[in-house]
């Protein structure tokens, strides 16, 4: 992913100097850590608007940067990823910062909170993965044909917001690189959740003490909305908001509503 105007990237050496954790930063104000979904980081209007009042720090899962694809091989499993990201955030002085995560990133936020209780601030989970119910299995995004992804991610795949998310550059080389980059990012994040996105988070969620807001799209076809209740039940005091007419990406499909909830919750 090309760096966006207004976004700077810091490379923090972590993990015994084996990994350069790339953290993209935008905006000003109190820090807010954003943990990206499985397809990698995209600076969308939601993050832009948040960056008006907060400094958004977005660490990239190692390997998901086009600059350093082999970094994924330095992180063996989810437990190591959690420590890699925690080292990076501490190195940037982000102890106590609020966390927000979308999908894969929501799971990562919970893992950070469960592994290091009290180290970070409040957290916002946008349709996180990480739990599994046999009666409502999480859909397999890795086996979904590209043309079927919009319907998996959006309640209304024809909306301009959904279309914009899947827009590709017109230039042939740029388009090839964009597809390759997103595919590789999916490959990198899959290392921590494939083949079934359940690494035992359900057994750790009781350790999360951070005030938590769970936002979910009622029509999420990827992670059914029953999981909103699962997260709500397992994280003490969590507030759950289920949005109608919304799929897996509330920050895109219901941006204003999601922004209002997040602003109110984070203060």
> Which residues in this chain contact another protein in the complex, by CB under 8 A?
63, 66, 69-70, 72-73, 76, 142-146, 172-173, 175-177, 179-181, 183-188, 190-191, 194-196
Cα(267)–Cα(264) distance, rounded to whole angstroms? 5
Closest distance of CB 144 from another protein, Å: 7
Q: Which is nearer to another protein, 22 or 54 (CB)?
A: 22
CB 263 within 8 A of CB 256: no
Q: Which is nearer to another protein, 174 or 229 (CB)?
A: 174
To 10 degrees, the CA torsion angle through 75, 80, 84, 87? -150
Please provide the distance, in angstroms rounded to a whole number, between the alpha carbons at the two ends of the chain: 31
Closest distance of CB 179 from another protein, Å: 6
Closest distance of CB 185 from another protein, Å: 8
Closest distance of CB 197 from another protein, Å: 12
CB 186 within 8 A of CB 39: yes
Q: Which is nearer to another protein, 183 or 209 (CB)?
A: 183
Cα(33)–Cα(19) distance, rounded to whole angstroms? 19
Q: Which is nearer to another protein, 150 or 187 (CB)?
A: 187
Q: Which is nearer to another protein, 103 or 212 (CB)?
A: 103
Phi, psi of 99 (to 5 degrees): -115, 145
Closest distance of CB 174 from another protein, Å: 10
Closest distance of CB 65 from another protein, Å: 10
Burial of 224 (0-12, 13-18, 19+ CB in 10 A): buried
Q: Which is nearer to another protein, 187 or 211 (CB)?
A: 187
CB 108 within 8 A of CB 86: no
Cα(133)–Cα(11) distance, rounded to whole angstroms? 38
């Amino acid at each position: 992913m090309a760096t966006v105007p207004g976004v700077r990237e810091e490379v923090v050496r972590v993990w015994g100097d084996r990994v350069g954790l790339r953290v993209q930063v935008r905006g000003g104000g109190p820090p807010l850590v954003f943990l990206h979904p499985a397809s990698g980081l995209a600076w969308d209007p939601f993050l832009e608007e948040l960056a008006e009042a907060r400094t958004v720090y977005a660490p990239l899962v190692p390997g998901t940067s086009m600059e350093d694809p082999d970094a994924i091989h330095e992180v063996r499993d989810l437990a190591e990823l959690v420590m890699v990201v925690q080292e990076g955030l501490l190195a940037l002085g982000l102890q106590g910062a609020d966390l927000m995560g979308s999908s894969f990133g929501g799971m990562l936020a919970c893992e950070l909170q469960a592994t290091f209780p009290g180290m970070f601030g409040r957290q916002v989970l946008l349709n996180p993965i990480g739990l599994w119910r046999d009666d409502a299995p999480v859909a397999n995004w890795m086996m979904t044909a590209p043309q079927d992804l919009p319907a998996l991610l959006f309640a209304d795949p024809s909306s301009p917001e959904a279309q914009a998310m899947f827009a590709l550059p017109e230039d042939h080389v740029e388009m090839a690189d964009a597809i390759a980059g997103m595919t590789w990012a999916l490959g990198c994040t899959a290392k921590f959740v494939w083949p079934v996105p359940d690494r035992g988070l359900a057994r750790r969620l009781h350790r999360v003490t951070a005030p938590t807001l769970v936002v979910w799209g009622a029509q999420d076809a990827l992670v059914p909305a029953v999981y909103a209740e699962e997260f709500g039940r397992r994280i003490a005091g969590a507030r759950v908001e289920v949005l109608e007419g919304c799929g897996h990406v509330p920050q895109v499909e219901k941006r204003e509503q999601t922004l209002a909830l997040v602003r109110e919750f984070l203060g």
